[in-house]
Amino acid sequence: MWQIRHNRGVFQAQALAPRELFLAASALVRPATTPFYAKLDQTLNASAFAAHARALCAPAYSETGHGRPGIDPVVYFKMLMVGCFEDLASERGMAERCNDSSSLRAFRGYELTETTPDHSRWSIIRQRLGQEIYDQVFILILSALEKHGLRKGQHLGIEAAVIAANAALKTLVHRNTHEAYWE
């Protein structure tokens, strides 16, 4: 193997010491997961999130076995959580981030040698799952967080619409109607 170096206007070729082409997976350094994702994973596991999410999503998956296997719903929802927590706006960005990070691979249950889902497969599962399933999974996550004391506060609401703002901060008014989220 050779390395080309530029040194004061002159290109020089230099032979490099041979490196190993293949490494055993056991020889790779396995970084610790971030405390946040480790705690989130413990919370989800303690509330049997995986079993409940798979049961909710089962009608959206083909039982015939034709075509490519679908993305595991648990992996899909964990990838959406990563996108939310790390402010990733696109499915392509979420897929790249989840593929690139070894700690996020561990959070989703992937080994370093496994291929993670491509962003193009996300649109298929997104289209198959209806609004009712997303709502039920959202309730599952909130109840798991509440059960473990991780949801605090009196008011909780999530809005995902993008709206152009046309207001000054001085004119904003807090309008708490005390309605439940689903109302």
pLDDT at residue 4, as a whole number: 59
113 domain residue, yes or no:
yes
Residue 132 lies in a domain: yes
pLDDT for position 105: 81
pLDDT single digits (tens) 95-109: 888 888 877 888 888
- Residue at 165 is within a domain: no
Do the domain assignments include residue 129? yes
Q: SS3 for the chain, per residue?
A: CEEEEEECCEEEEEECCCCCCCCCHHHCCCCCCCHHHHHHHHHHHHCCHHHHHHHHHHHHCCCCCCCCCCCCHHHHHHHHHHHHHCCCCCHHHHHHHHHHCHHHHHHHCCCCCCCCCCHHHHHHHHHHCCHHHHHHHHHHHHHHHHHCCCCCCCCCCCCCCCCCCCCCHHHCCCCCCCCCCCC
> For the chain, what is the domain count?
1
Q: Is residue 171 part of a domain?
A: no
Percentage, residues of the chain above pLDDT 90: 4
**For residue 47, what are the domain limits?**
29-151
Per-residue pLDDT reduced to its tens digit, 13-48 = 666 556 666 667 677 666 665 788 888 888 888 889
